[in-house]
Amino acid sequence: MSWCPESLPVVALVESAPRSTMNCRCILSPVKRVLGLPSQLRPRFLSGLSEAELNYVLSAASHRQFRAASVVINQEDSADRFFMLTSGHGRHFVITDDGRKIILHWLTAGRIFGGAAIVSTPMRYLLSTELVSDSCALVWERQAIRNLASRCPKLLDNALSLASTELIPWLTAAHISLSSDDAQGRVAHLLESLASAIGRATPSGVEMSITNEDLAEGANVTPFTVSRCLSDWQSAGIVVKRRGKLLLRKPELLLGVSQ
């Protein structure tokens, strides 16, 4: 179906609802209708849309807030919702048959998840998704996001582009690392990728909210191995370990030391 701007509802910019203690920067009406995104957020999923298209897509979403450690999607649940993170960060994971939790891809503001909801055949989620920090997300019901994709094909193009340029390369790199790196190398590659994904630049280096257990699960090593690696890197002045946080001071030296 072709795009017809004349058929779109008019989205009036009214005074936004009071911001919550979760530091949400989405623009909401008093009745929590989504009017706009945080000023600095430029999601690739919504790139290339006209103002009318963007307003229409946002008007079809609901706004949700989640506390840290919330599991938003469980693997094997029916894929009936599609999400875009607007603040905070999270990650995908799977639970193996023997009960182990394997951390996969990390998510930051602007990333989408629950993509199985957009395909034509009803599916189940392949991965679980949890939010590591207090976060906000826009949520579309399955039929709504599918209708939007048919009305605005750029959405589907963007979703496919994200899968091919972000998720698939990450999976490829992870597989290569597991196949060719030793334990220390896997932890080093994981830290390097996390620094660019969830790191916060500070005058002293890149700070990440990450625990030894998170690194152990993501690199498929034991917490003892992570502790030993971090101790070696701290002695070399590459990292500084703090409670629940890690400061990567010299990321350019990380992989060199691990080789």
Mean predicted confidence (pLDDT) in 109-123: 94
Torsion, Cα of 179, 180, 181, 182 (10° steps):
80
Burial of 208 (0-12, 13-18, 19+ CB in 10 A): buried
Q: Which of 170, 191, 183, 177 is nearest to 245 (CA)?
A: 191
Mean predicted confidence (pLDDT) in 43-57: 95
pLDDT tier at 59, thresholds 50, 70, 90? very high
**Domain spans, the chain:** 5-170, 181-258
Sheet strand arrangement including 135-141? 62-66, 135-141, 81-87, 112-113
pTM of the model: 0.74
> DSSP readout, the chain?
----GGGSPP----PPPPP-TT----EE-TT--EEE--TT---GGGTT--HHHHHHHHHT-EEEEE-TTEEEE-TTSB--EEEEEEESEEEEEEE-TTS-EEEEEEEETT-EE-GGGGSSS--B-SSEEEESSSEEEEEEEHHHHHHHHHH-THHHHHHHHHIIIIIHHHHHHHHHHHHH--HHHHHHHHHHHHHHHH-EEETTEEEE---HHHHHHHHTS-HHHHHHHHHHHHHTTSEEEETTEEEES-HHHHHHHH-
Assess whether pLDDT exceeds 50 at residue 19.
no
CATH code for the structural domain at 181-258: 1.10.10.10
Amino acid at position 48, single letter: G
Assess whether pLDDT exceeds 90 at residue 154.
yes
Give the per-residue pLDDT at 181.
75
Q: What is 5-170's CATH topology?
A: Jelly Rolls (2.60.120)
Residue-wise pLDDT tens digits, 161-217? 888 777 665 566 666 666 667 888 888 888 887 787 777 889 989 988 888 888 887
How are beta strands 135-141 and 81-87 bridged, if at all? antiparallel
Give the per-residue pLDDT at 1.
41
- CA 227 from centre of chain: 26
